[in-house]
Structure 1
Amino acid sequence: MSDGADHGGRSGTAGAAAVCRDCAAALPPGTRRCPKCGGRRLFRHPELHDLPIGHIDCDSFYATVEKRDRPELAAKPVIVGGDDHRGVVAACCYVARLSGVRSAMTIREALDRCPDAVIIRPDMAKYKEVGHRARAIMEAFTPLVEPISIDEAYLDLAGVEERLSISPAQALVEIVRRFETELRITASIGLSYNKLLAKIASDLDKPRGFSAIGRAEAAAFLAPRRVTILWGVGPALERKLFADGISRVADLQDKDEHWLVKRYGAMGRTLFRFARGDDPRRVEPESPSKSISSEETFDWDVTSPPALAAELRPLAQKVSRRMEREGLVGRSVVLKLKTKDFQQLTRSRRVEPTRDADAILAAGLSLLEKEADGRAFRLIGIGCTDLLRPDAAPEPELDLFGP
């Protein structure tokens, strides 16, 4: 495994091929300075030009975009999120992270840790515009771009050498270089032979990092890591694994596949593969949005059914406008509620294909009526799922539970 600096002196990389992080030139082993641009930011890896799967993760995306547009904030801790103490941190810059601020933390706690932080309300329209431009840059190099969120994506660059006469590693460097020059944002690169390891690699050296995990090193690299480094291992599964004496990936590597499948079902087979650096998942280009929603966190807990209902109308209108922009209709309406103790509830209702705000609101109110029983809620949201284009909409299904 190598990361973003020139590790030419590290065992296993000193004699490896390199790529210049400043101009994307491919360099032979032993090069200390790029002869093309004079740069010293060289990345080396023994399998550098043989790894086809990339993961690009923009660095603190929302906060970076805000700092880009407000240069006076460049050196200040910036938090993007609700501007009151009941809101949560959507993103924060690396200066704020030095004080212990993290995403999903309440604004109150974030300000306790970083009193000088500048709080900025999210501007999703602006972030999406930058995200779309970043997507266009990636798709200029490969059509196989799988977005994970507005600020990160997998790329399959297996055919880039034939098309553009550059290696996948060079393509990734050039993509991020264009992010910096054209969009004025930064990103970190993960390079490997599958999605699992490319994603892990991109987290190893942030911000503006470049890391790679090759075939020869994958199993040894994973072995000492906590099992949570593997995709799909969340807190619940981690607890179950720990109860079985499995805390590190090496513990999984010691188990045979039959035992893991017997103990954990289908996930056992996935764990067996991932623990050995094997991930058969392909990079899948973007499919249409699976859901569109809007939500609101209250300044104080709300128990009144009329007050909760009043909050739904503007949210339904926001969902309707976005569906209109994207040319979509939905066949299910989903209501989201979060109690004062952070328990999340989701309820859904099948509807005829629609993007009409009143129809969305009506379905949401019907769902809310069953849940607004005097409990205190701190968040409410509404959205549509089962999205499709109107010209592809099938005949509406009967709703046996509808009016």
Structure 2
Amino acid sequence: MTTRQTRLPARRTVLALLTALGSLAGAALAGAAPAGAAAAAVDIAPGVVYETFDFQAARGPVRAHVLTVDLRRPGVRLDLLYPGAVAARSTVSRLADGQGAVAGVNGDFFNITETQHPGVEATGASVGPAVASGRTLKGAVPDGQRFGPALPPGTSTRDVFGVGVDRRARLDSLALDGSVTTAAGRVPLGGLNQYALPVGSVGAFTADWGNASRVRATCGTDTERAAPCSADTHEVTIRQGRVVTTDPRPGGGPIAPGTTVLVGREAGAQWLRELAVGDAVRVHHRLVASRSRIPYRFAVGGYPVLSDGEPLPGLDDRTAAVRSAVGLASGGRRVLLLSLDGSPEYRAGLTIAELADVLRRLGADDAFSLDGGGSSTLVARDPGAGTVTVRNHPAGGAERPVPNGIGVFSGP
């Protein structure tokens, strides 16, 4: 492996960060970086640099692993890492190697457990919207159904970090716009490949969903994840624009390409019960961005913590944890992927407020929190290697399977 010392501008950034973050712990850091605080930077690929640095935060020492990705470089791009299905999980290293990424970090929060619903299995599906290689995979669950820490005021499960076809990274909000149309009328589509549907809605599941049971989609309410599963459900399978089967309870197993399964709860279930085998049905869906008219090539869920260089109001400044995040700089042309080390000596972690400040001091104008804790994983290849290596120490002692991540790709 070949390494080089960090370029002077980057070195100054790290030194400034190390000095300034001393205030988080209530004392300055002796005016300079402690010995061994900043590691040599490594060129993973043209336009992709990996480095680590240590600093003292309010609750103890922290080690950060950072990938700097220059989207201005030809051939450098970001895309969604995922295991080929929404309701499936794999480790970041397997996902990166399977898709040929040179580096990557874990992505969105996800449906990790179902202790409140006996007999219902967790799907492993992510919370927010997801777009992979320009194709919409899923929409966002209701805010009250999300897993993860409390959302900052003014944010929602629809928030995404993404990259448009213009190769610029940005933060946005993606809402599902869809409908189900029959001879009897039309209803709005309440979900797409989601582990939770809004109360009273109809949701669509496609081959992108995977093998997991669709029962979980009818559990909980828009405001209470632990609420009981609905007793009023119905499912309809559509193939070539016609109803082919109906069932009073959501099923599971793979969905064939070109087939759509509609799941209804409460009022949505009542509407679906009016359909019979052979009826014509048209299903339409797309994700609509609230801030940009640029189509997204890639998008992943999480929540914003920094906007135009300012932390969002109401960020948690009490709960520290191992975290992953992404920062945007240079008008969305430069991306910082960060994951904290979860080894015992660094596990004190950062609060969300501290995380936003770290990314701001690293030069980010906007920043976005990803899943953390045992999910936080950053991988990167050694120069010339064909596979990635896990660079941080996951807090659980080994990589946790996750539903998606952010992959860094370099090449034609």
More helix by share: 1
Indicate whether the TM-score tops 0.5.
no
Structure 1 or 2, whichever has the larger Rg, is 1
Q: Report the TM-score, using the length of structure 2 for normalisation.
A: 0.24
Which TM-score applies when normalising by structure 1? 0.24
